[in-house]
Every structure is written in C-alpha cells, then in structure tokens.
Amino acid sequence: MGLTRRLGLLAAAAALTITTAVYAAPTYINVLTGGTSGVYYPIGVAISQLYGQIDGARPSVQATKASVENLNLLQNGRGELAFALGDSVADAWNGVEEAGFRTPLTRLRAIAGTYNNYIQVVASAESGIKTLDDLRGKRISVGAPKSGTELNARAIFAAAGLSYGDMRRVEFLPYAESVELIKNRQLDATLQSSGLGMAAIRDLASTMPVTFVAIPEDVVQKIGNPAYQPGVIPAGTYDGQDEDVPTVAITNILVSHEKVDDDIAYQMTRLIFDNLTALGNAHSAAKTIRLETAADNLPIPLHPGAERFYREAGVLQ
C-alpha cells in the first residue's frame, strides 16, 4: 500500500473517530429543584427519570435553595431546567437587585407554567398565633435568605402592616429545619411557600397541634403584584386542619435557558406533558399541571423548543 493511500486511510479513520465522538457526546440535563423536604425535589426527580428516555441524555437532580439560586445558576449555564416561583422569574428578567438579581437574567427561557405554590403560615397551637397580627413579638422562620419564600414573606408582611422588626426573632431557614425548631419549642411559626401537602408541614401537623394562619384577600390585593393571587388551602390538606384557609397562590414555572438545544427543549417539554400521571404520583401538587394553561401569562419568553411543542399540541396559535 502506497504512503499516500495509507495517509488517506488514516485521515479518514481520524475523521470518523472525531465524528463519532461528536455524535456520542452526552447531553447533560441538570434539573435544579429546592430542598429535599419540599415539593420541587420529588417532582424534579420524577422529571429527571423521564429525561432518561432522551437519546444520549445524562439527567441529574440538584437540591438547591430554590427559585433565586436556580435562576442565577441557569443564567450561568449551570443547569438546564429549574423550578422557580413566578414572581422570582419576573424579578430575574427585570434584574431586581433587592430580589437577588444584580443584572437582568436575559438568557432565561420558559418551558412551562405548572402548579401553584401556596403561602403556608403554620404556628404551634400553644403559641396562641391565630392571625398575621399575632406574629408580633413571636419567633418565626421565613425561608432561606432571599429565597423565593423569603421574598414572599417580605411582600406579605408589608401588605399586612408588619416588618421583621415587629417579630421577637426571625430565622432564615428552609422547610425541614424550621419545622424541627417548632417541634423543639424554639420557634413559634414558619412561613413557607410550597405546593399543598408539603412533607415537612405534614410531619409537623401529625406531631403536634398547629394553627394555619389565614392571609385575607384584602392583604393579597395590597401586595400589588399580579403574580400574587388569592388562594385556599383546602380543609383536610393537613392533619387537624378542619377548615379552608385563605392564603396567597403563586404559579411555579419550569425555566431553561437560551443555550439549551431547541430539539432537547422540545423533548423536555413533551415528556413532561406525556407523563403527567407519573409526575402526579411523585407528588400530589403536580396533579394540577395542565397543558391548556402551561404557556399562559409567562413573564419571560418561551424557549423555541417548548413553543414548537405547544404549537403542535394546539395550545398556541
């Protein structure tokens, strides 16, 4: 075999190897969730398992401090899908520094509006807390600093004529830690933003008598943010909760970013809506996700891959 032919064959083999390597490169899909005792995490695990069906995909799940951290991670390309509260998504797009976003996060793209979070203010019965005003002089936890939950707490307290300075002590702790301190009589109450039936609050309500504090509709209106809507924690959601509790509802949004391939984003979206039963089995909050409303009233642009799916599904014209 001549030298020229041998060199040609070697070049062809090298090109084939490079081409094969390119096509075999895995697609990493990191799903950013929240604390492991919240609702984002089990639904995120279920979504990640679905994404194993995408050719070449290597899905993973990351527990985080939720909305604000998730959106900043997405902007920096350190995740492909994330859960976030609708008001945090709007603040991220607009670069609201007080909300934890130093500059507008313009790489963000929406995948789907999902289920509502409900602001759940729960107090030990022995604390005597029955109304928002009763929180004055009490010990409360409001979620991790500048998390979506903590931003919700600030907005709600302001609308109710309260501030952190009115409380005896304010802790900035996530779900499980807040509940443990209430059990140990080291806290009186916690405000948490989550889907209904959240594990940590279920645990607390099954352990000791608690009171669910109402957030009246007039307080919701005073917040002045369309992301905040009147909602209800239905009677029987938790042990000992015998009546409906008025509160605030905020839509959760699944968010990606512009560098995620359009076809991958299409498949990510399709697999969610082809498998809503599986997601509902992962956590009951996901049972309220609806294809018909998933692309409605989003504060950021849809990812082109998700938009293609919705157009094919007939929910976008």
The answer to the question of residue 4 being in a domain is no
pLDDT at residue 2 in the model = 55
20, pLDDT greater than 80: no
The answer to the question of residue 61 being in a domain is yes
| Tokens (6 digits) for 126 | 């022995």
The answer to the question of residue 91 being in a domain is yes
Residue 40's pLDDT band (boundaries 50, 70, 90)?
Answer: very high
Compare 119 and 146 and report the one with higher pLDDT: 119
CATH of the domain at 292: 3.40.190.10
pLDDT tens-place string over residues 308-317:
999 999 999 8
Residue 196's domain comprises 117-250
**206 and 168 inside one domain:** yes
pLDDT at residue 6 in the model = 54
**153 and 99 inside one domain:** no
pLDDT at residue 17 in the model = 46
**158 and 264 inside one domain:** no
167, pLDDT greater than 80: yes
> How crowded is residue 264: how many other Cβ atoms within 10 Å of its Cβ?
20
Give the count of domains, the chain. 2
Residue 227's pLDDT band (boundaries 50, 70, 90)?
Answer: confident
Could you tell me which of 61, 54, 90, 29 has the C-alpha nearest to residue 227?
Answer: 90
pLDDT at residue 75 in the model = 98
Q: CA angle at residue 126 from 121 to 132, to 5 degrees?
A: 35
**107 and 256 inside one domain:** yes
